[in-house]
Copies of this chain bind each other. A is one copy, B any other.
């Protein structure tokens, strides 16, 4: 039996496999430390489109196309797609993935959406509701600045606590088997009859709640999200009876350098020292010193592309055996911000394990 664990966690009876995945990023992400690992790096951030929003949609479309191709699947092989982005009414998703005609369950958790989609996708497979599932999320620097702060043409200054929204989309194909036999030669890269091993497995998840410390600075979202990350992480340790050292890495989505410090401090107060194992996708994806990205990367796409390109690679190679992947989201809109509301946070954690035996 699948098992509800403690207050907010789920332990899967059978693991769910990340069969394959893909990442598509913009020019700046391609120039960063992980640049060589992404599947596709755009020549510019418009990706041949007329608007930032359309460009973001094309990121999702391409990431899903590549992930399906690498897994040897066609759209009709996919039972469900869990998808979302940061834009109002998730329009990057609506206009990005419609052509695949896959039954869609739209999700919203701000920048935690990648974690939420993986959690729900894994549940839908573990519960017997779906055979193959795709989880996709995206963000785009231009569309996000326009949506949340100022259009780029305004040329506003950015404080050092600000993060830089990643232009990118990561898509993941989930299934119940740890290898997939390719029966239909849909891409040149995958030959008929070949059996492809999965990239990693999902063992369980901790679903986050909204945590609001009353912070209001949309230029310091790391600090806004860190309390939610601390809450989910503490709950995860309690529910699973685990400790920081049970994981090779505990990976947040986009806290950046400011949020990382807050998270480590908050958890230290609660008796957990994660300083030795903590990693943040937002810190990894750019070289802040040379790329002028200040506190780090952020956005739905940040954790998604880092998971696909970098984290799953480490699990695949067995460098890491077990990690906790926990994207973090800041729950604001320009309306709530302009009306003086605070910026609550949320974080969802997914337990990932390597398929490499010792």
Contacts and interface: CB of A to CB of B under 8 A. Distances in A.
A94 interface: yes
Contacts of A54: 339
B333 A210 contact: no
B89 A4 contact: no
Contacts of A123: 123-124, 127, 129
Contacts of A8: 79, 103
A266 interface: no
Interface stretch (A104-112, A164-172, A274-282): A104-112
B89 A333 contact: yes
A1 B84 CA distance: 29
Given A98-B212, A106-B107, A210-B97, A88 B51 contact: no
Contacts of A51: 339
Given A79-B4, A102-B209, A209-B104, A95 B336 contact: yes
Interface string A46-86: 00000101100000000000000000000010011000101
Contact of A336 (B53, B119, B339, B344): B53
Nearest to A98: B210
A245 interface: no
B126 A91 contact: no
The CB with the most chain B CB atoms within 10 A, among A91, A211, A341, is that of A91
Given A105-B207, A107-B107, A346-B104, A331 B91 contact: yes
Contact of A1 (B95, B116, B128, B335): B128
A130 B4 contact: yes
A87 interface: yes
A238 interface: no
A131 interface: yes
A96 to B, nearest CB: 10
A25 interface: no
Interface string A25-62: 00000000000000000000000000101100000000
5 contacts: A2-B129, A4-B131, A94-B336, A98-B212, A147-B335
A124 B7 CA distance: 15
Interface residues of A, number: 63
B110 A108 contact: no
A329 to B, nearest CB: 9
Contacts of A110: 89
Given A89-B86, A336-B53, A10 B104 contact: no
7 tightest A-B contacts by CB? A127-B127, A88-B88, A103-B207, A98-B210, A89-B333, A94-B331, A2-B128
Given A1-B128, A53-B335, 9 more contacts: A2-B128, A4-B79, A80-B207, A91-B335, A98-B210, A106-B107, A123-B123, A123-B129, A126-B127
A116 B109 contact: no
A301 interface: no
Nearest to A88: B88
Contacts of A98: 209-212, 344
A116 B120 CA distance: 13
A128 B3 contact: yes
Contacts of A344: 94-95, 98
A299 interface: no
Contacts of A1: 128
A16 to B, nearest CB: 12
A184 B209 CA distance: 24
